């Protein structure tokens, strides 16, 4: 029976927080845990990044099979240097990714992520989708997790996906 499912993920070309140009092919052989956000976010991003980091801690050595990626939706402010400083102390397992506005738009489209700048009095915010996407070591979409999943639930789900992948490899 034919099904119609939208493809999630795909090719992107971005710059990591070390200043290197990267594509999904750079992470082949590892699961990618992909979250879109921005460093000036005061609510969702700190909570999800903390939850994801805690889940990776709970995985122990299995976490080495996962590359957590934080893709900015605010490339005007989130330069590689800003991402590096933001992630260094808070979420050192993460690799921050940024790029031109066009490159970020292409990555958002690939993952079906909503994010749009909303101007405020003297500043702006960027409301955005808060899903965390899991891609397998071949770069294919596995699933996504909402921001309501706990660190323990996420760790258990990730452990299950790693075990399933090992059985099928």
In 103-159, the DSSP E strands lie at 118-119, 124-125, 132-135, 141-145
Distance CA 100, CA 151 (A): 32
φ, ψ at 96 (rounded to 5°): -85, 140
Q: Tell me the H-state helices in the chain.
A: 44-59, 80-90, 101-111, 151-168
The answer to whether the annotation marks 41 as part of a ligand binding site is yes
Distance CA 51, CA 64 (A): 17
Residues 71 and 104: beta-carbon distance below 8 Å:
yes
Would you list which residues are annotated within the binding site for Cu cation? Answer: 41, 45, 128
Known binding positions: 41, 45, 128
């Amino acid at each position: 029976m034919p099904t119609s499912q939208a493809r999630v993920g795909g090719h992107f070309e971005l710059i990591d927080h070390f200043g290197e140009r990267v594509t999904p092919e750079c992470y082949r052989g590892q699961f990618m845990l992909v979250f879109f956000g921005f460093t000036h976010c005061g609510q969702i991003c700190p909570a999800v990044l903390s939850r994801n980091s805690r889940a990776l801690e709970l995985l122990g050595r299995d976490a080495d099979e996962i590359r957590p990626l934080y893709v900015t939706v605010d490339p005007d402010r989130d330069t590689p240097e800003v991402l590096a400083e933001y992630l260094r102390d808070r979420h050192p397992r993460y690799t921050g990714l940024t790029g031109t506005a066009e490159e970020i738009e292409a990555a958002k489209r690939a993952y079906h992520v909503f994010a749009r700048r909303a101007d405020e009095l003297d500043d702006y915010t960027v409301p955005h989708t808060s899903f965390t996407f899991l891609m397998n070591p071949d770069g294919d979409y596995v699933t996504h997790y909402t921001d309501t999943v706990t660190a323990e639930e996420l760790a258990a789900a990730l452990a299950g996906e790693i075990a399933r992948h090992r059985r099928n490899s």
